[in-house]
Every structure is written in C-alpha cells, then in structure tokens.
C-alpha cells in the first residue's frame, strides 16, 4: 500500500527525462539501465583486451591474456543477451510478465 502511494506521483530526474509513474515503470527502467551497463562493460573489456593484444609485443603469455580478456567479454555479452532473449521468449510463450512487475 505504501509503495503504490509513494510512487503514485510522477518522479522526474534532473535533466535526463526519467519519469517514474509506478513500480512497473521503475522495473522496466531498471532492466533497460542494466542492459546499458552491460553494453558499456562489454565495450570497456573489449578495448582493454585490444590494448593488451596490441601492446603484447609478441610475448606469448601477454597474447594469451589479451585473448582471454576478449573471449570473456564476448562470453559475458552472449550470456546477457541470451538471458534477456530467454526471458522475452518465456514472456511471449507463457503469457506471463517476467521483465515487468506489477503489485
């Protein structure tokens, strides 16, 4: 009861256009923000791996370390994308709401 009353009035963020009307909107925005964070983390780790690879100078252990960093970044992105796709598939097939929460 308190949550719905507290979130009944729209909350706006300063200059970012964020508008939270209810808990459902909050969860959808949180999922979208989490996906953005995953994308940024993937890009950063991919850049770190690329820099490690370029600066390895032919050192076998440094090249392997760079390759592992790039591989782990790709695996992480694949797992995140697959989990989101599975959640969307379950939402569509079963008709239940997984990514949106209503109270």
Tell me which of 48 and 1 has the higher pLDDT.
48
Q: What is the pLDDT of residue 10?
A: 55
Quick one: 18 exposed, middle or buried, by C-beta within 10 A (0-12, 13-18, 19+)?
middle
Q: What is the pLDDT of residue 12?
A: 55
Tell me the pLDDT tens digit for each residue of 31-76. Answer: 778 888 998 999 999 999 999 999 998 899 999 999 999 999 999 9
pLDDT, the chain, mean: 80
Question: Predicted confidence band at 13 (pLDDT cuts at 50, 70, 90)?
Answer: low
List the chain domain ranges: 22-94
């Amino acid at each position: 009861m308190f949550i719905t009353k507290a979130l009944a009035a729209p909350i706006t963020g300063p200059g970012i256009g964020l508008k939270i009307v209810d808990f459902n909107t909050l969860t959808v925005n949180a999922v979208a923000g989490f996906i953005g964070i995953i994308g940024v983390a993937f890009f950063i780790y991919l850049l770190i791996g690329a820099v490690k690879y370029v600066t390895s100078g032919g050192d076998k252990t440094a090249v392997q370390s760079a390759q592992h960093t790039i591989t782990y970044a790709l695996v992480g992105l694949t797992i995140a994308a697959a989990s989101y796709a599975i959640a969307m598939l379950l939402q569509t097939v079963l008709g239940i709401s997984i990514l949106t929460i209503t109270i």
